[in-house]
Amino acid sequence: MNPYLSVLPEIQSALDAGKPVVALESTILSHGMPYPQNLEFGRKVEQLIREEGAVPATIAILDGKLKVGLNEEELERMCRAEGVGKVSRRDVPVYLAAKKPGATTVATTMLIAEMAGIRVFATGGIGGVHRGAETTMDISADLQELAHTSVAVVSAGVKSILDIGLTLEYLETMGVPVLGMRTNDFPAFYCRKSGFSVDYALNSEEEAARVMKAKWDCGMKGGMIIANPIPEEYAMDSDYMNGIIEQAVRESVEQGIKGKKITPFLLARIVELTGGESLASNIQLAFHNARCASRIAVAYSKL
């Protein structure tokens, strides 16, 4: 047993019984939305997962523990985000040792989910290869985690602030399957299409569960991306968003913003430049992914 792992009894009971559980990250709460909108979102996304027949497991680092599932007080604490850091894989031991509160990124959420035995994780969009990475070497730890950690990640593709083509090339090199949920087009977060294709199109959540089982039954380590496009009614125009993103990226370069600070800066600036429209889309795509992930988890539990 991992002495640092703390799993809510409800979640542990579900895992012991082979019932469906869906992991959720906490960075979107602490660093992606303002309070109290993030608290409302955190409660709602867990409710949607329950309505689909699965158990939600919001993951964070608190009081020297890897928390799998948060009670109401802990959820409030993460949403108020007072002194809460953004924790990727390399930061985990420091935050545990110092008992500092940390919000988990995609990479860290995957890591902790696998420790707990959770196979499905719903997020907004994964990290990837940043624009200009051929000189900055700015590549998200999410991609390495996908290569080595056996969790299926349901997302609306990768964040459109990234170099999507290079991200997909990197995932291919690392042997990570990129599957489209009822689509051949790889989505770009706010937009339904990126101009790139997925490796394979899935016709149903049940098919996704069968692919997961086949991979892991063969002893093949690593995760997979299940790309779930934002619903049509909440999607944003590609040309409009590309212009906004290019402006935000220029500003980040001019201000010398780098490393783990760049994604929160870009997303916040995009919200400002779109008059809040991008945040509304972000929330809806996250809800959509939670529903999809829950159905996959239910189907996987039956196998």
Q: Partners of 60 in the beta sheet?
A: 67, 103
Residues 3 and 18: their CA atoms lie apart, in Å, by 23
Is residue 261 among the annotated active site residues? Answer: no
User: Which residue in the list 145, 159, 205, 260 is annotated as catalytic?
Assistant: 159
Burial call 84-103: b when 16+ CB within 10 Å, e when fewer: bbbbbbebbeebbeeebbbb
HSE value, Cβ hemisphere, 13 Å, CA-based, for 47: 6
Q: Return the SS3 of 299.
A: helix
Question: In this structure, what token pair is assigned to residue 73?
Answer: 């007080």
Give ∠ CA 174-180-186 in degrees, rounded to 5.
75
Residues in the chain, total: 303
Is residue 51 among the annotated active site residues? Answer: no
Residues 233 and 250: their CA atoms lie apart, in Å, by 29
Residues 107 and 81: their CA atoms lie apart, in Å, by 20
Residues 66 and 46: their CA atoms lie apart, in Å, by 19
The residue among 303, 298, 22 whose CA lies nearest residue 151 is: 22
DSSP 8-state secondary structure symbol assigned to residue 184 = S
Q: Partners of 188 in the beta sheet?
A: 157, 191
Annotated active-site positions, please?
25, 159
